[in-house]
Amino acid sequence: MSAAASASPESAPSGAWPSAARLIARWLDRRERIDALLDTLPRTLNGPARARCQHLVLGVVRHFGRINAALERLVAHPPRFSTRAVLFVAGFELIEAASDGDDGRKAKIVHHAVEQTKSLASPAEARLVNAVVRKLAGALAAPAPTLSASAEELGDYFSHPAWLVRSWLAQFGPASTRALLEWNQRPAPVYARWRARDANDAPPDFLKPTQWSKMTEVESGRWSEVEPLLKTGRLYLQDPSTLIPVDLLAPKAGESILDLCAAPGGKSLYIADTMQSGRLVAVDLPTARIDRLKENLSRSTGIDVALVQADVLENAALSLREHKLPESYDGVLLDVPCSNTGVMRHRVDVKWRLQPGDFKKHPDQQLSLLHAAARFVAPKGRLVYSTCSIDTEENEKVVRAFLASKAGGPFELTRSVLSTPWTSGHDGGGAFLLQRSAK
């Protein structure tokens, strides 16, 4: 953890705490996506202050369920969002202090929250904050539930919707579900892929080796040294799990590869770096993420790269023809939109946006995309279907439905990788290699 992330309230960088409280008030009111919300932070809030603010916001959202359950027991009528946000930020700091074994911080957290309330809300509300935060530490100190606990108890303590916990208990059992919940509540390390120029191009010392040969872990507190490497493309931030679908596809020099649903382009860039020569065509909808895809593709070298803005389900074939690009490829990667249940450690607000109906909606769309992708696979070609979901509905069931369909008839499932975070040590997801026959 960086110094900015672990700073105590009274020593926190100026502006970090009130900025975090304002963003949380806005999130409580509008439930905006956290990545978009953090993008609204003023550029004047930089360095340690920005890092601390982001740490507080992500911490509150990660532990929202636990803090909210405790507050509901202490406050009969929820105050306005500005005051409620102070209670949530203080609640996260209390959880953080308890996990660090720093009981001496409790009084400082209470005092700091009261002082912040005077300017963020009103002196009258500061009295409420004083009374509630003093009791909140005890309310949050309850021990973790046992393995036999109900989905509701597990959901409250580990800050996940009970319906989602119930689904995982049915799929994975109590021990694995508990391991997953604990995993999701821990902040993720920052992993990066070093794009070596040659065999002698070693990464700098602040990029630490990991158990994955192509990945490094970024040492905390070194962002000033990391940022220039990101801007020049020498370094690319990504989780080890994102390499699995591309490694399964195994693109070779000189081949033609089609990357569908390609934005923001991390897998596209890895495909290009793996191939070194040949053709790569990246396709995605014309959304805000296209600029990231363009930037990533521009960093590729030695390979013919094309970007096509199209809807895979509607006009991809027509768009390829209009760009005078082939409609048949040696390899096709389809990384589908999904529930993101395998990446909740990184995307901390996903669990609060998911709905039970999404596990019907996503598989229907995923199967349609798989049918559409199959038409672009050449005879004897390869198709990789991948998700960042750990749920059976979006992985095995979709692939089985595809293979049982007319479009899936020429394909055979030759290999699959199902990653569960608590066993793999990185984000979760599914990747399935489908081989097309010669006909």
Q: Is 262 left (phi over 0), alpha (psi -120 to 50) or beta?
A: alpha
- What count of Cα atoms within 13 Å lies in the side-chain half-sphere of residue 250? 8
Q: Quick one: tokens of 236?
A: 């690319």
Burial of 305 (0-12, 13-18, 19+ CB in 10 A): buried
Supply the DSSP symbol for 377.
E
Strand runs labelled E in 117-276: 191-194, 207-209, 215-218, 235-237, 256-260
Size of the chain in residues? 439
Please work out, in degrees rounded to the nearest 5, the angle formed at the alpha carbon of residue 351 by the alpha carbons of 314 and 368.
Answer: 20
Q: Which are the contacts of 283, defined by CB distance < 8 A and separation ≥ 6?
A: 258, 259, 260, 261, 262, 307, 308, 309, 310, 312, 316, 319, 320
Sheet holding 235-237, edge to edge: 207-209, 215-218, 191-194, 235-237
Identity of the amino acid at 210: T
Q: Quick one: tokens of 336?
A: 């589908």
Given the residues 53, 261, 338, 388, the one annotated as active site: 388
Sheet holding 377-387, edge to edge: 304-309, 279-284, 256-260, 329-335, 377-387, 429-436, 411-419
Q: Quick one: tokens of 180?
A: 């997953």
Q: For residue 12, give the nearest of 109, 141, 85, 121 by alpha carbon.
A: 109
To the query of whether residue 338 is one of the catalytic residues in this protein, the response is no
Other C-beta atoms lying within 10 Å of the C-beta of residue 416:
17
Cβ atoms of residues 412 and 434 within 8 Å: yes
Residue 410: strand, helix, or coil? coil
Instruction: Please give the torsion angle defined by the CA atoms of residues 292, 298, 303 and 308, in that order, rounded to the nearest 10 degrees.
Output: 50
Q: Quick one: tokens of 295?
A: 């930037």
Distance CA 419, CA 342 (A): 8
Q: Give the catalytic positions in this structure.
A: 388
